[in-house]
Chain A
Amino acid sequence: MAAQNFRHALFCAIVTLIIAYPILGLNLEARGIDITLTGADTFTVVMVFIAAVVVFAFQLFRDGIMETFKSLPGLRSGGAHKEPMAENRRARIESWVITGIVVLALFWPFFVSRGSVDLATLVLIYVILALGLNVVVGLAGLLDLGYVAFYAVGAYTFALLSEYLGVSFWLALPIGALLAALFGLVLGFPVLRLRGDYLAIVTLGFGEIIRILLNNWTSLTGGPNGIGGIPDPTLFGMEFGRRVKEEGNVSFHETFGIAYAGEHKVIFLYLIALVLAVFTALVIRRFMRMPVGRAWEALREDEIAARSLGMSRTAVKLSAFTIGAFFAGFAGTVFASKQGFISPESFVFLESAIILAIVVLGGMGSQIGVILAAVAVTILPELAREFSEYRMLIFGAAMVLMMVWRPQGLMPMRRIHIELKGQE
């Protein structure tokens, strides 16, 4: 036992060295046209060795350390056995906390920097996307790898409508969402009979088709050059620019007699995204409690059983695809407006993968978990900017660790049920 522990610990330490030393201990520097390899300073090297020693010591005494952790009170209690009353109270507290967070989020942008508000808007767009994909993947159990296509449809709908027809944000928002929903419906038909891996491949292909179409239909979409000059949303006809762009509109700062500030527009966009995110969450929550929501879950749990009870596979799958796509269209329209410029570059497969990662990390089917994960996945890479080139490495490692330790996600979906004390 002891010898085995020692060997395992030694192995771990060596792996630490092998990974850490080349990354931290060696630097590639460009001198003119050549690249030279230089060793890092002594301090870094010493730190790497100390890290290896720490890993070695931890692995050697792992059993003992884990024992102490387990015996710490309070870590393992909680969750399992709760009286119905406690469960009820918990739900009530939860809804108060969420309301509080939303109210805070409403006022928060007025006190922070423009950059943070901008980032927060992006987070909210991802929240909408993840909540939408959660319907398809988390609830209905249909693995969709091409979700970004619907996002692109929403964004391009707004961009094209405004470029060719001068349609405003508010009109484009429902049109974009409905068009995306229509695309969801269209995609739904060929994949009705497919499941699991096959479904994933077909949706992946669909996502690529949309992107390639946008990339190559140069006469309409401008191809790789994208579409620029997408207008900002207006508030009851008031524009947020320094000068009014469109005849008949007035500007926001002149109407209210305040000085022009670039922040107004950013904050306004943030608030729109916030309202849409809350709207998305509430609507989907409602769906989850309706028969259609239960049908999604039944289909996910066991397709044959669901069909034996008279549920129509067609209707259930199509509704999931359509509703999921609808919200992606929402997010796309907001995204187009926020960026002011879109190109097919923004809708690559990686985006689909990230949104899917958010849903899986958050806990399939759990709304709060998915929202938390969307925040984490969008903000973490920004916070880790100091680590620059190791950013994606850290991000990837975090995902791997997460899946090993908490495969059910940050906050797994909690079904509404109670467990009584004293029942085995």
Chain B
Amino acid sequence: MLVVDNIHTHYGKIEALHGVSVEVNKGEIVSLIGANGAGKTTLLMSVCGNPQASSGRILLEGRDITTAPTAEIMRSGIAIVPEGRRVFPGLTVEENLHMGGFFNTKSEIQKSLEHVYELFPRLKEREHQRAGTMSGGEQQMLAIGRALMSRPRMIILDEPSLGLAPIIIAQIFEIIGQLRDEGITVFLVEQNAHQALSLADRGYVLETGRIRLHDTGKNLLANPEIREAYLGG
């Protein structure tokens, strides 16, 4: 589905990623964990073409998107839930969702809308409420729902558990599992290593711009080094 092949990404002169390779296969959940500043978000942003990788290749369903413009990448069957939710605060829930289906036809939007409301009944309740007035958890649901509106084959989530209560986090992760069951490929970037790894089929550990470990989610959870560094012993 998504192949990141030995990419280097620079912010100005500073190199943030020193040759990172990640592979996400169709229908699986892959988690990327790492500490602050490890380059997790940079890796995601490189996939989205903002900033573009300075060397290496990124393939989406076999197509080279390394130097494609962001707008084009985001319209080719991939959707991202950006870090910090980023819903449109002044728009209502429904309007936010409509924005997600910006490039789809009306009937497609209607179908996706029903689907999203089915996944998140809470959003249906808040249909006409301004997104900015909702709680963090509801906004995160909205951000995921909005990303789903374009009917993506793959969804990238950047720290969906950020700043949320444990019970809400559990709900969000449950939904992520559900998405995989529907056949959507999920690439999950998390600091919340325990939950991210228990849900994932496979996991990558990113450290200061390099992939340090790569294994199945179960094995990584059991790995003593990982337990020490990310799971608090």
CB within 8 Å of B: which residues of A? 291, 294-295, 297-298, 301-302, 304-315, 415, 417-420
Known: A294-B99, A309-B102. A302 touches B75 (CB 8 A): no
Of B88-96, B161-169, B178-186, the one contacting chain A is B88-96
Known: A302-B88, A419-B128, A420-B128. A308 touches B71 (CB 8 A): no
The smallest C-beta distance from A420 to any residue of chain B, in angstroms, reads 7
Which of A301, A307, A417, A418 meets B71, CB within 8 Å?
A307
Greatest chain A CB density within 10 A among B81, B99, B146 is at B99
The smallest C-beta distance from B145 to any residue of chain A, in angstroms, reads 12
Residues of B within 8 A of A295 (CB): 102
B interface residues, how many (CB within 8 angstroms): 29
A304 contacts B82, C-beta separation under 8 Å: yes
Known: A301-B88, A301-B91, A313-B71. A308 touches B150 (CB 8 A): no
CB within 8 Å of A: which residues of B? 48, 50, 69-72, 74-75, 79-82, 86-92, 95, 98-100, 102-103, 128, 146-147, 150
Given contact pairs A298-B91, A309-B146, A415-B95, a sample of 10 additional A-B residue pairs in the complex whose CB atoms are under 8 Å apart: A294-B99, A298-B99, A302-B86, A305-B87, A306-B99, A308-B74, A311-B102, A312-B69, A415-B90, A417-B95
A307 contacts B90, C-beta separation under 8 Å: no
B102 contacts A307, C-beta separation under 8 Å: no
A298 contacts B88, C-beta separation under 8 Å: yes
User: Bound complex: CA of A36 vs CA of B212, how far in Å?
Assistant: 85
A309 contacts B128, C-beta separation under 8 Å: no
Would you call the interface of chain A mostly helix, strand, loop, or mixed?
A: helix
User: Bound complex: CA of A419 vs CA of B90, how far in Å?
Assistant: 15
A308 contacts B102, C-beta separation under 8 Å: no
In the assembled complex, 11 residue pairs joining A and B whose CB atoms fall closer than 8 Å, in A order, are A294-B95, A298-B99, A305-B86, A308-B80, A308-B86, A310-B71, A314-B71, A415-B90, A415-B95, A417-B95, A417-B128
Residues of B within 8 A of A294 (CB): 95, 98-99, 102
A301 contacts B102, C-beta separation under 8 Å: no
Residues of B within 8 A of A420 (CB): 128
User: Bound complex: CA of A38 vs CA of B82, how far in Å?
Assistant: 68
Residues of A within 8 A of B81 (CB): 308
User: Bound complex: CA of A307 vs CA of B70, how far in Å?
Assistant: 7
Known: A415-B91, A419-B128. A311 touches B71 (CB 8 A): yes
User: Bound complex: CA of A21 vs CA of B118, how far in Å?
Assistant: 69
The smallest C-beta distance from A297 to any residue of chain B, in angstroms, reads 7
User: Bound complex: CA of A308 vs CA of B82, how far in Å?
Assistant: 7
Known: A298-B99, A302-B88, A417-B92. A310 touches B74 (CB 8 A): yes
User: Bound complex: CA of A307 vs CA of B103, how far in Å?
Assistant: 12
The smallest C-beta distance from B224 to any residue of chain A, in angstroms, reads 37
Q: Which residue of A lies closest to B94 (CB)?
A: A417
The smallest C-beta distance from B97 to any residue of chain A, in angstroms, reads 11
The smallest C-beta distance from A289 to any residue of chain B, in angstroms, reads 12
Q: Which residue of A lies closest to B158 (CB)?
A: A308
Residues of B within 8 A of A419 (CB): 128
Q: Which residue of B lies closest to A84 (CB)?
A: B128
Residues of B within 8 A of A415 (CB): 90-92, 95
User: Bound complex: CA of A9 vs CA of B195, how far in Å?
Assistant: 60
B103 contacts A310, C-beta separation under 8 Å: yes
Which of B75, B89, B128, B150 meets A301, CB within 8 Å?
B89
Q: Which 6 pairs across A and B sit closest by C-beta, in order of nearness?
A: A310-B74, A312-B71, A305-B86, A301-B88, A310-B75, A308-B80
User: Bound complex: CA of A301 vs CA of B92, how far in Å?
Assistant: 12
